[in-house]
Chains A and B, each alone.
Chain A
C-alpha cells in the first residue's frame, strides 16, 4: 500500500463536527423547546449557541497552549498513567455509552413508527455492526464517509420549503418563554442536541495546525445552530405552541405533509436518512472511546478493543427497554458529557499551566 499520508482537510473537519453534532434529537427538538421554554422557546437556542461557543473557545485555549498536541499526550507527560486510568475509563465508558444510547434511541423511534412488531435488538445489532465497520477504519474514513452522508442528507432542508405555505407567523405569538417548565433535564436535553463538538479535542493530533481547527469547529457549531433555529422556527410556526407541546416528534409529523405526484409522506425517507447523521455521531463517539481505551490497553489491537466496546455497550444498552428509559439514560449521560466538555479542557489547562508545552508538535 502506498503511504500517501492523508490529512483532515478543513472542509472535512467542518462537516465532521457538524455531522457529529446533528442527530436524532433534531426530531424532538421543537417539542423539547416548547416544553422547557414555553412559547417561542426557540429563542433560547442563541443562549445555547453562545455557551457552546464559549466551551469551544476553552478547548481552543487547550489547543493553543498544548501546541496542537494530542490531549492524551498532554496528560501523560504530566501525570502517571496509573492516575489517569480512572479518567480514561470514565471517558471510554461515557463516550461508548453515548454512542450506544444514541443508536438505541434511533432504533426505538424507528421501531415505534415503522416496525412495531419487530424486536428492536435486531436493528440494534445491524446498526452496531455498521458503526463498527465505520469507526474501526479510523478518523480519515469516518470524515470521508461523513462528508458523503452530509451530501445525502442536506437536501432534506430543501424539502422543508414545500411546507412554507402552511407556515403562519401568527402561531409564533408575541409572547416569549411563557408556560415553560424550565426543568433541568429538559435544558440539558436541549444542550445534548449540540453535543459532539467536544470531540474536537480528540482531533488535535490528526489535523495540520494550518487547518485552523478551532475556527472550523466554531463555524460547524454555527451551522448546527442555524439549522436548529431554522427547524425549530419552522415547527413553531407550523404547529403552534399548544400542539407542539403535545407532540413527540414534530419534525416527523411536519414532513408527513410533504407531497409529490409520485410519492408522499416523505417522513419515511427522513428517518431513513437520519441513520446517516446518527451513524456519523455514533462512529465518532465509538472512535473517541476506542482512542481513550487505547491508552489503557495499548497492546490490544484497536479492532479487538472496538469489538469489546460494541459488545459491552450492546448488552448494557439492552437494560433500558422503553424509549422513555433510553431518554432518561441519555439525559444522565448527557449531563456527564457536558461535565466532560467543560471539565476536561479546564483540567488540561490546569496541567498546561503547571508545565508549559515547549516542543513543536510532531505532526506540524
Chain B
C-alpha cells in the first residue's frame, strides 16, 4: 500500500461509524474529498473545489490545486482536527490539502431574550463564533482589536477567542486570562457561562466573577473600556474581565437615555437590590422579634392580617418565597403562552387562596411580591439569581436572631465580597479600593463630558477616553 492509501485509510478509520461523514472519491484523478457536509458551505465547496477539479484534466490538476486557498498538511492528526473544525480535506496523490469551508447552519442574528433593551441596538450574539466575531468587528473597526484563538476541551475542542484592544488593555490581564484558559483540562465545555466558572478566582463563591452578556454593544463598550473579552463557539454569551460587583448593576440602556434618566434607573437598581435581599427578612425580623418598630396604626393592620396565620413568620415567608421561586422556574422553562397561564395561576389562585385559607398574610404577599419583582430589575440574570438565593439565608437568619441575624448575614456577605477578586483585581472596586473618580459611571450615569477616563479597574495604560473640551 502506498503512502496515499495509508494516509487515507488512517483518516477514514478515525471516522469509522460516523454516518454524517462524507467521502467523495475521484479514482480517475487519484483524488479524495473528506468533510462533514453539515459543517461546510456546500455551494462554496462546489464552486471552489469540486468544479475546478472536475473540469481540469489530470495534467492541469496540480495547477488547479495550487490555486486553492488551502494549506498543505502532512500530519494525519492535523488533517483530522481540521476536518472536525469544518474544513474540507483534499487528498491528491501524495499531497493533502485542507481548505476552510466552515459555515454551519445556525440561528440567525436575533434579539436577546434575556437582556432586552428599549432603546439602543437590538441584535444579540448567536451560537456560531463567526457571527459573534463579525458583530464585534462591525462595531470596532480598528486593527488594534486583537483576537487570540485557543482550544478548550479535550473532546469538544471548542474554539475560544480572547479579544482586546491593544494599547488600551492592560496586557497583564490578557496574559493571565489566556494562562487560565490554556490551563483548563476538561473533556468538554458547552457554554461561556460554564467556561468562566473554570477560570474563576474563587469557584466556590456564589457571585459571578466575570461579566457575561449577549449584547454586542455592551461587549464593544467593555473592549473600549480596556477590558478583555472572551467568546466561545457554540455560545451566545460573551464574557468580559476584570469585573466588579457594581458592574452588574449597569446596563447598555443607561448610556442611550439622557443622563438623568440613566442615573435614576441606576438608583432604582440599587434600591431594588436592597429590597430584594432585605425586605422579606426585615418583615420576618420585625414580626418575630421587633414589633415595637412598627408604628401603631400599621401594627393594627399587620396583626389583623397575621391573626389567622398559624405559622411563625419565618415559615410563612420561606413558604411564599419558595412558591415564587417555583413559579419563576416553571415560567422560565415553559413556552411563553403556558408561562403566562402559570403567572395567572400563581398570582391569583395561589396568592389569593393562600391568604383566604389563612396560610399567609396579605402583607407578606405584598412583601414577597415586591422583593421578587425587585430581583428582576437587576440587568444580569446570573447576579439576580445569586442574590435571590442569598435572600433565603438572610430570611432564616432573621427568623433566628431578628435584626442581629440580618446584620450578621450582611456582614458576612460584605466580608466575602471584599475578599473576592476578578482576575486578581478587587471585586468591590470602586468602593474598596476607594476610587471616587469611577463613581460617576457606577452609582450614577454622569453626562458623557464628565466620563473622561476609563474605569480604574481596567488599569489601562491609556486611561483617557475623551478629549472633548465642551
* A316 is an interface residue with CB less than 8 A from chain B: no
Q: Report yes or no: B295 in contact with A261, Cβ–Cβ below 8 A.
A: yes
Name the A residues within 8 Å of B118 (CB-CB): none
* A144 is an interface residue with CB less than 8 A from chain B: yes
Name the A residues within 8 Å of B432 (CB-CB): 12, 143-145, 147-148
Q: Which 5 A-B pairs have the closest CB atoms?
A: A2-B424, A144-B432, A272-B403, A144-B418, A11-B434
Chain A nearest CB, measured from B275 CB (Å): 13
Q: How far is the CA of A70 from the CA of B356 in the complex (A)?
A: 68
20 A-B residue pairings within 8 Å (CB atoms): A2-B173, A2-B423, A2-B425, A4-B172, A6-B426, A6-B433, A110-B404, A114-B289, A114-B403, A115-B401, A127-B408, A133-B415, A137-B418, A141-B415, A144-B426, A145-B432, A149-B411, A265-B292, A272-B406, A272-B407
Q: Report yes or no: A130 in contact with B176, Cβ–Cβ below 8 A.
A: no
Chain B nearest CB, measured from A268 CB (Å): 5
Name the A residues within 8 Å of B173 (CB-CB): 2
Q: What number of A-B contacts does a CB cutoff of 8 Å give?
A: 109
Residues of A in contact, count (CB < 8 Å): 43
Name the B residues within 8 Å of A271 (CB-CB): 403
Quick one: CB contact mask for A238-265 with B, threshold 8 Å, 1 for yes?
0000000000000000000001111111
* A167 is an interface residue with CB less than 8 A from chain B: no
Among B295, B407, B428, B433, which residue has its beta carbon within 8 angstroms of that of A259? Answer: B295
Chain B nearest CB, measured from A271 CB (Å): 8
Q: Report yes or no: A262 in contact with B434, Cβ–Cβ below 8 A.
A: no
Q: A114-B403, A143-B432 are in contact. Are A2 and B415 (CB under 8 A)?
A: no
Q: How far is the CA of A92 from the CA of B329 in the complex (A)?
A: 52
Q: Report yes or no: B418 in contact with A262, Cβ–Cβ below 8 A.
A: no
Q: Report yes or no: A263 in contact with B295, Cβ–Cβ below 8 A.
A: yes
* A126 is an interface residue with CB less than 8 A from chain B: yes
Q: How far is the CA of A288 from the CA of B275 in the complex (A)?
A: 37
Name the A residues within 8 Å of B176 (CB-CB): 2
Name the A residues within 8 Å of B411 (CB-CB): 130, 149, 275-276, 279
Quick one: CB contact mask for B106-145 with A, threshold 8 Å, 1 for yes?
0000000000000000000000000000000000000000
* A223 is an interface residue with CB less than 8 A from chain B: no
* A269 is an interface residue with CB less than 8 A from chain B: yes
| Category for how many chain B residues contact A | 35 or more
Name the A residues within 8 Å of B401 (CB-CB): 115, 123
Q: How far is the CA of A266 from the CA of B286 in the complex (A)?
A: 12
* B311 is an interface residue with CB less than 8 A from chain A: no
Q: Report yes or no: B403 in contact with A266, Cβ–Cβ below 8 A.
A: no
* B256 is an interface residue with CB less than 8 A from chain A: no
Q: Interface of B with A (CB < 8 Å)?
A: 172-173, 176, 201, 289-290, 292-295, 298, 401-404, 406-408, 410-412, 414-419, 421, 423-426, 428, 431-434, 459
Among A4, A115, A130, A149, which residue has its beta carbon within 8 angstroms of that of B412? Answer: A130
Name the B residues within 8 Å of A145 (CB-CB): 414-415, 418, 432
Closest to A270 in B: B403
* A187 is an interface residue with CB less than 8 A from chain B: no
* A151 is an interface residue with CB less than 8 A from chain B: yes
Chain A nearest CB, measured from B263 CB (Å): 19
Interface residues of A in 114-140 (CB under 8 A from B): 114-115, 123, 126-127, 130, 133-134, 137
Closest to B424 in A: A2
Name the A residues within 8 Å of B295 (CB-CB): 259-264
Name the A residues within 8 Å of B403 (CB-CB): 114, 268-269, 271-272
Q: How far is the CA of A279 from the CA of B414 in the complex (A)?
A: 12
Among A3, A9, A137, which residue has its beta carbon within 8 angstroms of that of B419? Answer: A137
Additional A-B contact list (10), CB under 8 Å, known A2-B425, A148-B418, A148-B428: A1-B201, A9-B433, A12-B433, A12-B434, A114-B289, A114-B290, A145-B418, A149-B414, A259-B295, A275-B407
Which of the listed residues A4, A149, A265 has the most CB atoms from chain B within 10 Å of its own CB? A4
Q: Report yes or no: B425 in contact with A148, Cβ–Cβ below 8 A.
A: no
Chain A nearest CB, measured from B230 CB (Å): 16
Among B404, B426, B428, which residue has its beta carbon within 8 angstroms of that of A275? Answer: B404
Name the B residues within 8 Å of A114 (CB-CB): 289-290, 402-404
Name the B residues within 8 Å of A123 (CB-CB): 401, 404
* A203 is an interface residue with CB less than 8 A from chain B: no
* A273 is an interface residue with CB less than 8 A from chain B: yes
